[in-house]
Homo-oligomer: A and B are copies of this chain.
């Protein structure tokens, strides 16, 4: 009764589906590990984020999802993205120019350095900053960033509080 065209083969198929599998598993693991449920809208948003080549607005993301057959409400997409952000799975940015927020998968490799001129401490920071810079340049300047080196020197919170203003 088994039908090859409907069931997944035992050997890994062509790359895209295999990757999709891995992504799906990653999502489910993260959700479950944090006590959240695995639902259709969440899978759909996750898949759309992976398919997207650019940072998408919530509206675009939703369109992407319905285009693939699924049907998710805007509100659910918003809620799902907020959750993903909490879980460190996705990230929003909006750099000065644009009105609507744009979403992307969170890449843990984006970081920058904060150097304190008082105590000499160097802080490695992961955050939306570098992603935001990339986006800004790509959209506003037509520049394709490969490496973003951001070093900010100044006074860290601790030294501000200790020292005289």
Contacts and interface: CB of A to CB of B under 8 A. Distances in A.
Contacts of A97: 128
A98 B152 CA distance: 21
A21 to B, nearest CB: 28
- The count of identical subunits is 2
Contacts of A140: 127
Contact of A143 (B92, B128, B137, B154): B154
A116 B143 CA distance: 9
Nearest to A91: B96
A53 B153 CA distance: 20
A144 interface: yes
Interface of A: 92-97, 101, 114, 116-117, 125, 127-129, 132-133, 136-137, 140-157, 160
Chain A to chain B: the 5 pairs with minimum beta-carbon distance, closest first = A142-B157, A146-B154, A145-B154, A144-B155, A96-B128
